[in-house]
Structure 1
């Protein structure tokens, strides 16, 4: 299993083409679900839960799966809230990471909160407290679009 994880991680670094990712903006009673990233890019920074779309899986299905894997929370996936590009280049200008990310609104319908294998931490945070966290650029963009943070 460790070899499979290494191969998957290596396929994400210096990819041959953009990878499709998804994120879930899970909002419940004035609180939003966030995770502390446990892998690159942006290791240790906070973001909405998400990950890559698997072959044969819709973007909405991937969103529900990734939220459950990273947080233990089962969600009903709603509308698309944002689509963005994440491109990171190395010092030589080569593309190190390239994702096209589709972020969905999602509603929690079950599960138990816990940090999954791809997350260092997972928690629901009051929207008023979001400014106290070091978010990824793409998460800041989504939260700004929703009026929760300044970009």
Structure 2
């Protein structure tokens, strides 16, 4: 059995809204998720989160803090080439005047409230993170 591929994503919050991208490619194509992707050789999970966030949003985040991890086995919906991932999710900071622009494999980008996110097509990991974030805000 092949070990899971490492991946990281990053959560950026501004004024009660979270930055999400609409995925253009599998896994989770056409779903909304926190910016992120697969690790490159030699990268640490925080390095992956920062690099992928920048590639997908044009914003260079800083101070990644581990928030959650997920063991994500292949999903049937992603077809026969689906892979097993170990996802590290980080909270990050960025200057508030920076504008997010969809790049790389992002089909779209936007800022959403927790209530809006829970009504979008999102992976279970995003739903769980948003619920945890909102519980921490209370």
The structure 2 residue matched to 1:37, chosen from 17, 20, 23, is: 23
Are residues 1:58 and 2:58 paired?
no
- CA shift, 1:90, in A, is 4.2
The equivalences for 1:60-139 within 5 A come to 60-90=46-76, 96-109=82-95, 111-139=98-126
State the 1:65 CA deviation: 0.8
Instruction: Label 1:95 to 1:85 Cα distance change in 2 as closer, same or farther (>3 A).
Output: farther
Runs of 4+ with deviation above 3 angstroms: none
SS of structure 1 residue aligned to 2:87: strand
C-alpha distance 89-78 of structure 1, shift in aligned 2 (>3 A): closer
Contact preservation (8 Å) 2:8, 2:89: yes
In 2, the alpha carbon distance for the partners of 1:28 and 1:76 equals 14
Q: How many residues align structurally?
A: 132
Specify the alignment match of 1:8 in structure 2.
none
Asked if 2 retains the 8 angstrom alpha-carbon contact of 1:28 and 1:107, the reply is: no
Of the two, which has the highest radius of gyration?
Answer: 1
User: Please, which of 116, 127, 136 is the counterpart of residue 140 of structure 1?
Assistant: 127
Supply the RMSD in Å over aligned alpha carbons: 2.2
User: When the two structures are superposed, what TM-score results if normalisation uses the length of structure 1?
Assistant: 0.77
Unaligned stretches of 5+ in structure 1? 1-14
Q: How far does the alpha carbon of each residue in 1:110-138 deviate from its partner, in whole angstroms, 9 at most, with x for none?
A: 64311112110011123342223111121
